[in-house]
Amino acid sequence: MPTNGTTPLVEMRNISIAFGGIKAVDGVSVDLRPGEVVGLLGHNGAGKSTLIKILSGAYKPDAGEIYVNGEHADIATPRDAKRYGIETIYQTLALADNIDAAGNIFLGREVLTPYGTLDDATMEAETRKVMARLNPHFRRFKEPVKALSGGQRQSVAIARAIYFNARVLIMDEPTAALGPAETQQVADLVLQLKKEGIGIFLISHDIHDVFGLADRVSVMKNGKLVGSANVQDVTQDEVLGMIILGKCPPGAIPGPGAS
């Protein structure tokens, strides 16, 4: 159960963004506390990924504000987001296929030698350490990630997000491409990171995934927030009703998108 008294790690207030006249996200507010997992649910095209890309700096919102630890945060680029400790695992993984695991994990944040050249040895050593924790069987450090399996690629993307001491982790459909064993691994990882006090936004259209891991859920429909609820206060069927019909059950706090 989240401690409702503390300052939210991240708060997004009244976020709106439009693409060519269509409001992909319309006045949505969500928040996240330390050690909390918030599931962001909704159909394809509900605006979940767009909302999260605003937080990760990929899009700039037309309106609304973002607060990190209660302070106004100006996030215009992915670099800004990372400076606030906000890391993202994208649905597409966003890996450069032609570069090896270490190159991808440190992409944009390379370790340099005193001479200003890439310190590949240090980066590889660090990669071996972080991968040993995530995926102990991983051996293909020298190959471009194109050659890796779906699960291995996923662990490279996760390693990139957690290596730099993330405080907020955004996981966009993290298990969509994975088998049952690997899905369980990701679930274990989420629980472990939660214990370390990291806040996690978990985006999924699979309600079972989210109910197993999340403390709260926020449901979006047609770019608007239907409502938010603690998972104990609602049933899966009620949440399904929120996703499909936009109907807010009594256990949830309704948003502007509730019908």
Partner 1 sequence: MTAPVASTAPPPSAASGSFLSKLEIDARMLGMLAALAVIWIGFDLLSGGVFLTPRNLWNLSVQTASVAIMATGMVLVIVTRNIDLSVGAILGVTGMIIGVAQVQWLPAYLGLEHWLTAPLAVVLAMVIGGSIGLFQGWLIAYLGIPSFIVTLGGLLVWRGAAWWVTTGQTVAPMDTRFKAFGGGVEGALGATTTWVIAAVACGLIIIALGFSRRRRLRFGFPVRPGWADAVIAALACGIVLAAATIANAYPLPAGTARRWAEANGLTWPEGGLFIPHGVALPVLIAILVGLVMTFIATRRRFGRYVFAIGGNPEAAELSGINTRWTLMKVFGLMGLLCGISACISTARLNAATNAAGTLDELYVIASAVIGGTSLAGGVGTIAGAMLGALVMQSLQSGMVLLGVDTPLQNIVVGAVLVLAVWVDSLYRRRIK
d(CA 30, CA 18): 18
Compute CA 68 distance to the chain's CA centroid, rounded to the nearest angstrom: 15
**Mask for 11-50, x = binds partner 1 (CB under 8 A):** ----------------------------------------
CB of 210 to partner 1, least distance (A): 24
User: Which token pair is 171?
Assistant: 């996981």
Q: What does the DSSP 8-state code read for residue 95? A: -
Single out the segment in contact with partner 1 by CB under 8 A; choices: 2-10, 13-21, 120-128, 205-213: 120-128
Q: Does 103 bind partner 1 (CB under 8 A)?
A: yes
Task: Give DSSP secondary structure letters for 11-25.
Answer: EEEEEEEEETTEEEE
CB of 135 to partner 1, least distance (A): 10
Compute CA 13 distance to the chain's CA centroid, rounded to the nearest angstrom: 18
d(CA 104, CA 114): 21
CB of 254 to partner 1, least distance (A): 33
**Mask for 59-98, x = binds partner 1 (CB under 8 A):** ------------------xxx--x-----x-x-xxxxxxx
Number of residues that bind partner 1 (CB under 8 A): 39
Q: Does 118 bind partner 1 (CB under 8 A)?
A: yes
d(CA 194, CA 241): 28
Q: Which residues neighbour 122 within 8 Å (Cβ) at sequence distance 6 or greater? A: 111
Where on the chain is the footprint of partner 1 (CB under 8 A)?
A: 56-58, 77-79, 82, 88, 90, 92-99, 103, 107-110, 112, 116-118, 121-122, 124-125, 128-129, 132-133, 136, 139-141, 144
